[in-house]
Amino acid sequence: MTNQEENILLGHGNGGRLMQRLISGLFMAHFDNEILREQSDASILNICGEEIAFTTDSFVVDPLFFPGGNIGKLAVCGTVNDLSVSGAEPLYLSVSFIIEEGFPIATLEKIVVSMAEEARRAGVLIVTGDTKVVNRGKCDKLFINTSGIGKIRKDRNGVVRYNDIMPGDKIILNGPVGDHGMAVMSARESFSFRSGVESDCASLNGLISNVLDSHSPVKIMRDPTRGGLATALNELASRIPFGIRLEENAIPVCNGVRALCELLGFDPLYIANEGKVILVTGEEESRQITETMKQHEQGRQACVIGEIVNDHPGRVVLQTMTGSTRILETLTSDQLPRIC
Amino acid sequence: MTNQEENILLGHGNGGRLMQRLISGLFMAHFDNEILREQSDASILNICGEEIAFTTDSFVVDPLFFPGGNIGKLAVCGTVNDLSVSGAEPLYLSVSFIIEEGFPIATLEKIVVSMAEEARRAGVLIVTGDTKVVNRGKCDKLFINTSGIGKIRKDRNGVVRYNDIMPGDKIILNGPVGDHGMAVMSARESFSFRSGVESDCASLNGLISNVLDSHSPVKIMRDPTRGGLATALNELASRIPFGIRLEENAIPVCNGVRALCELLGFDPLYIANEGKVILVTGEEESRQITETMKQHEQGRQACVIGEIVNDHPGRVVLQTMTGSTRILETLTSDQLPRIC
């Protein structure tokens, strides 16, 4: 490792290249086992013949409340979605709080209420928990970890199948990108102007099970959270012998998000989402799946945004509106720390 | 709630009375469901006919390294033990890191190595993880969450059975109390003298499965972590229509721990342990179980420390060395914050 990397940088937590290096150089190297090596959003465990999905996420978003949600809602949606995109039906969550001494109990209750509401909405039970309190100044208000257990569907539709991916397959997205990151950004004190942008924070298990129930085979799903759409697709591209071509024209971005991004110099393709899912399917099924998604509240703007191509294997290329092409690299430095 | 309780206090995280109030008044009230209501060390989930144990714990111990262990070893042992005392065979762990920007990667690696070693020793796999980085000053060096999944034993020996507990049942403990808390305490800068006390931090699944495999029925197990032996037994007493009588003479305490406690004004019965288990068994089985435990490295000093009695239902009473009796209350204020 280089000198620069002797200490942990914010970039080590952004879902991009530094984090990948930390994961493979440190965590994978020491914890190594076959299940971990899959590096999916959730691990698939075989317990007495039953396939169980298992995942964990810590949430450190700042501020705790933002347009469209708060850290509690986010913590439930995030883990529900990690299970869902692994082809599992989310069932049970654990919740662990690290709270700064002096934190108002009334605020904690607001957050807990919204976790309970979101769990009900998603149809999951919060079954176990933990609470730690640290002295004033030793953490920033509140951090929440949720871990989750789900049951892999009997038909295994939606479980990651890298080997089945082939040129011509379509990339489907369920709606506009960048909303969550920009909503959190605009909620920070230094950007007190009202952008009207709301987080897309939502549990996607209903939408996803509608698609999987339709019997159209889905080869892989990903939720483009930290690092945004471009980073999630780069991670996917790095695991297949093909390239990914995106049509900039086809990728939905809300006006508010586009305006904020232009103002601040951000690229919406790298901004975190918390209610989005990418699906890879055969060309034939893609129309049917997009139609099914449009019937669901979380999929109204579902569309094909690109495809798997033979060219530039392992890379993601954007066909821009002006007709040129641009390689979308994996995120390196952090555009927006503490977004989830 | 009283005025004093409008904000979170350190005592809300100590395993004692304030924490119990927070759990029942806030978390149970909003997340309420049948599984959560059990309030065990791990929840038992029925997935397609298989009984799965599920638990979570966040670790915020300060300092990160202490005699006998570090935050990483602790995070593995803690979750392994929560599963074990629930009558489960621990199988899989998740690991989630919250890291302060600037944290040395070499130190992180030491911690990761010791997690990997402890996981191997306990025979569990770390199968999924998460990393978040927060800006300098926004958390204290490093926090770790581990969640765990285990398989409930087919014979269900060791699964909590409050209803079977009756007067005359024996309370068995596997060794001396207070080592972990006092080791962490002595490692803090302000107590730089050398006490020679080492944390008992250890995975107990080997010891516990030896006991359960011996076919001697165990009615309940508890690991006396935060709040120590007295708090764990109070929690147990509050759930049965009987009392618990302890023999002070019978409770092993190391000389170093006793000396440190006297010096600092602490009671070793309230100090956290990380390698101790309490078992409740019928009188007849207690001798056999104690003998079985003594054969195991983590049970050399196993002994009966008290029994279930008809008197003072719901309370824990200590028969002191001088012949008097003393009620052991649940911990209220925090003796030692950030011990695990």
What would the DSSP string read from start to end of B282-305? Answer: -HHHHHHHHHHHHTSGGGTT-EEE
- Are the Cβ atoms of A8 and B50 closer than 8 angstroms? no
User: What is the pLDDT at residue B48?
Assistant: 81
Low-confidence stretches of chain B (pLDDT beneath 50) = 1-3
Distance from CA of A250 to the nearest CA of B (A): 32
Q: Which of A8, A134, A140 sits opposite B102 (nearest CB)?
A: A8
Percentage of chain A with pLDDT > 70? 96
> Nearest-CA residue of chain A relative to B79?
A130
pLDDT band at A334 (very low <50, low <70, confident <90, very high): low
Q: Which of A52, A101, A143 sits opposite B8 (nearest CB)?
A: A101
Q: Is there a contact between A162 and A220 (Cβ–Cβ < 8 Å)? A: yes
User: What is the pLDDT at residue A332?
Assistant: 73
- Chain A to chain B Cβ contacts (< 8 Å): 278
Residue A277, amino acid:
V
> Nearest-CA residue of chain A relative to B115?
A31
User: What is the pLDDT at residue B1?
Assistant: 45
User: What is the pLDDT at residue A188?
Assistant: 86
Distance of CA A337 to the CA centre of its chain: 15
Distance from CA of A304 to the nearest CA of B (A): 30
- Are the Cβ atoms of B101 and A10 closer than 8 angstroms? yes
Higher-confidence residue: B39 or A120?
Answer: A120
pLDDT band at A14 (very low <50, low <70, confident <90, very high): confident
A102: left (phi over 0), alpha (psi -120 to 50) or beta: left
Chain A contact for B115 (CB, 8 A cutoff): yes
Residue A220, CA distances (Å) to A77, A122, A170, A223, A316 in order = 19, 21, 11, 11, 16
- Are the Cβ atoms of B8 and A116 closer than 8 angstroms? no
- Which sequence spans correspond to the domains of chain A? 40-156, 162-328
Chain B contact for A106 (CB, 8 A cutoff): yes
Could you tell me the sign of the dihedral formed by the alpha carbons of B85, B86, B92, B97, in that order?
negative
Residue B195's contacts (CB-CB under 8 Å, 6 or more residues apart) are B182, B183, B186, B256, B259, B260
Is the pLDDT assigned to residue A192 strictly greater than 80? no
Chain A residues lying within 8 Å of B151, measured CB to CB: 47-48
The CATH label, of 3.30.1330.10, 3.40.50.1360, 3.40.50.150, 1.20.1070.10, for the domain at B40-156 is 3.30.1330.10
> Nearest-CA residue of chain B relative to A31?
B116
Q: Which of B1, B30, B42 sits opposite A113 (nearest CB)?
A: B30
ipTM: 0.96
Residue B270's contacts (CB-CB under 8 Å, 6 or more residues apart) are B227, B228, B229, B230, B231, B331, B335
Q: Which of residues 131-190 of A touch B (CB under 8 A)?
A: 131-135, 137-140, 143, 145, 147, 149, 151
User: What is the pLDDT at residue B335?
Assistant: 64
Q: Which of B26, B47, B102 sits opposite A52 (nearest CB)?
A: B47
Chain A contact for B74 (CB, 8 A cutoff): no
Helix (H, G, I), strand (E, B) or coil at B89: strand
- Are the Cβ atoms of B30 and A115 closer than 8 angstroms? yes
Chain A contact for B31 (CB, 8 A cutoff): yes
pLDDT 10s digits, A198-240: 999 999 999 999 999 999 999 999 999 999 999 999 999 999 9
Chain A contact for B28 (CB, 8 A cutoff): no
Q: Is the peptide bond before A63 cis (omega within 30 degrees of 0)?
A: yes
User: What is the pLDDT at residue A41?
Assistant: 87
Distance from CA of B216 to the nearest CA of A (A): 25
Mutate which: A132, A144, A334, vs B, most B CBs within 10 A: A132
Q: How far apart are CA B156 and CA B217, in angstroms?
A: 9
- Are the Cβ atoms of B8 and A45 closer than 8 angstroms? no
Is the pLDDT assigned to residue A189 strictly greater than 80? no
Mutate which: B1, B56, B140, B335, vs A, most A CBs within 10 A: B56
pLDDT 10s digits, B117-140: 999 999 999 999 999 999 999 999
Chain A residues lying within 8 Å of B140, measured CB to CB: 134, 138-139
Distance from CA of B238 to the nearest CA of A (A): 20
Residue B340, CA distances (Å) to B62, B69, B144, B145, B196 in order = 8, 11, 10, 11, 20
Mutate which: A134, A153, A188, A336, vs B, most B CBs within 10 A: A134
- Are the Cβ atoms of B105 and A57 closer than 8 angstroms? no
The domain made up of B162-328 has a fold known as: Phosphoribosyl-aminoimidazole Synthetase; Chain A, domain 2 (3.90.650)
> Nearest-CA residue of chain B relative to A127?
B36
Rounded to two decimals, what is the model's pTM? 0.96
